[in-house]
């Protein structure tokens, strides 16, 4: 599937959720929202996370904005960062005839491929924190990771 890569300033991103994405996710259990604890994260961490998670989009019919083709918890959560004006957003711009394909990949295939990983995430984080400590590498506090995960730090025991 062909797409164009583009990088734009975060605060200039004219984004709207594609209407079909809204329809296909209306019954989702988890709804994305801005997270206020994001302000604790260094801007370099946020920019790297944004770079690792490009947003699939299509141009609107009148080319005045981008229509998002996937839910993006990362994007939603970083809107609240006090330095968001310094961030850039990577986009994968897909043609109109690819919208249904991209939606099926982002909403179904991607979730199915990663579903089995999710059960072990908290254990992996705890073990990785230990490995970081063993190697003398700076790691965020459990409270910061717990805030990002919207959970209690005790989950990482």
Residue 76 has pLDDT above 80, yes or no: no
With both helix axes pointing from N to C terminus, report the angle between 142-149 and 121-134 in degrees, rounded to the nearest 10.
Answer: 160
On average, the pLDDT of the chain sits at: 87
Residue 150 has pLDDT above 80, yes or no: no
Q: What is the pLDDT of residue 31?
A: 63
pLDDT digits over 13-39, tens only? 899 999 999 999 998 887 656 565 677
Confidence (pTM) = 0.83
pLDDT digits over 95-131, tens only? 999 999 999 999 999 988 888 778 788 889 999 999 9
Q: What is the pLDDT of residue 18?
A: 96
Please state whether beta strands 4-9 and 15-17 pair in parallel, antiparallel, or not at all (unpaired).
unpaired
């Amino acid at each position: 599937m062909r797409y164009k890569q583009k990088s734009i300033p975060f605060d200039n991103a004219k984004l709207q959720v594609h209407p079909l994405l809204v329809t296909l996710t209306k019954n989702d259990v988890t709804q994305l929202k801005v997270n206020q604890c994001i302000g604790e994260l260094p801007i370099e961490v946020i920019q790297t996370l944004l770079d690792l998670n490009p947003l699939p989009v299509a141009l609107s019919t009148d080319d005045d904005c981008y229509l998002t083709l996937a839910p993006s918890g990362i994007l939603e959560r970083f809107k609240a960062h006090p330095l968001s004006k310094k961030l850039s957003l990577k986009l994968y711009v897909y043609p109109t005839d690819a919208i249904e394909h991209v939606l099926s990949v982002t909403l179904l295939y991607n979730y199915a491929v990663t579903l089995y990983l999710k059960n072990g995430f908290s254990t992996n984080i705890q073990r990785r924190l230990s490995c970081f400590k063993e190697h003398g590498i700076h790691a965020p506090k459990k409270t910061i990771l717990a805030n990002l995960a919207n959970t209690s730090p005790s989950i990482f025991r």
